[in-house]
Amino acid sequence: MEGTVEPPSTRYRVLRAEQAFELSVPDNWKEFRDSSSVTLAPEGAYGNVNGQSVFTHGAIIGLSQASSRDLTRESDRLVSGILDGNAYLAVNGKYQRVRIAGRDALRIRLVGNSPVTNRREIVDVYTVLARQDELFSIIQVVPANDQASYRAAFDEMVRTVRLS
């Protein structure tokens, strides 16, 4: 992965997944879908490193099974999984209470030096309980020095979430 990363477009399109959720995303971000999530990244921000799919700028939107209706417990479980898979990241601060789709939600920031870019990376994790047994999450990833140019796009994603 080398070269320039395209900044987020100021034009948006609606991303929908299986009548479970929808939200607005920059129209120049490519989608990579799997069974439980959609990764979105602009041109130049994704590729393979040592056989692993990676991205340096963008977001992962997903639904995961929730074993309880305890938002903090389910959020802790998700964050632990992210930290287990990305040993360079560490929690920076405490959960902040926010609202997503009119529901109580949590936001927490993870930071660390990315082994892909060798730059400080900021990962904001938003979580909200969705349907009966699901946790909806938005995981936003950006190098710290690019954060200002991604803030409007990231805020628009969170602001426009609709859950079924």
pLDDT of residue 1: 53
**In the chain, at which residue ranges do the beta strands (DSSP E only) sit?**
12-17, 21-26, 29-33, 37-42, 46-49, 52-55, 58-65, 90-100, 103-113, 120-129, 134-143, 162-163
Residue 154 included in any domain: yes
Whether 135 is in a domain gets the answer yes
pLDDT, one tens digit per residue, over 112-121 is 999 988 999 9
pLDDT > 90? residue 26? yes
Q: In the predicted model, is pLDDT for residue 24 greater than 60?
A: yes
* 155 three-class SS: helix
In this structure, are residues 39 and 24 in contact, taking their beta carbons and an 8 Å threshold?
A: no
Percent of the chain with pLDDT over 90: 83
For residue 1, is it within any domain? no
CATH number (domain holding residue 38) = 3.40.1000.10
Q: Measured between alpha carbons, how far is 30 from 14 in angstroms, rounded to an integer? A: 13
What is the distance between the terminal CA atoms of the chain, rounded to a whole angstrom?
37
- Judge contact between 67 and 51, C-beta under 8 A: no
Does pLDDT of 38 surpass 60? yes
For residue 2, is it within any domain?
Answer: no
Task: Provide mean pLDDT across the span 91-111.
Answer: 97
Name the band, by pLDDT with cuts 50, 70 and 90, for residue 104: very high
CA count, 13 A, side-chain hemisphere, 44: 9
| Mean pLDDT, the chain, whole residue set | 93
pLDDT at 56 over 90: yes
Contacts of residue 161, Cβ cutoff 8 Å, sequence gap at least 6: 21, 22, 23, 100, 101, 128, 136, 138
Structural domains of the chain, count: 1
Q: State pTM to two decimals.
A: 0.95
Domain housing 118: 12-163
Of the listed ranges 37-41, 57-61, 129-133, the one predicted with least confidence? 129-133
How would residue 133 be classed by pLDDT, with cut points 50, 70 and 90? confident
* Predicted confidence band of residue 81 (pLDDT cuts 50, 70, 90): very high
What pLDDT does residue 5 have? 92
Q: Residue 69: its pLDDT value, please?
A: 94
Q: What is the pLDDT of residue 132?
A: 78
* 43 domain residue, yes or no: yes
Q: Is residue 19 part of a domain?
A: yes
Residue 84 lies in a domain: yes
Is there a domain that residue 38 lies in? yes
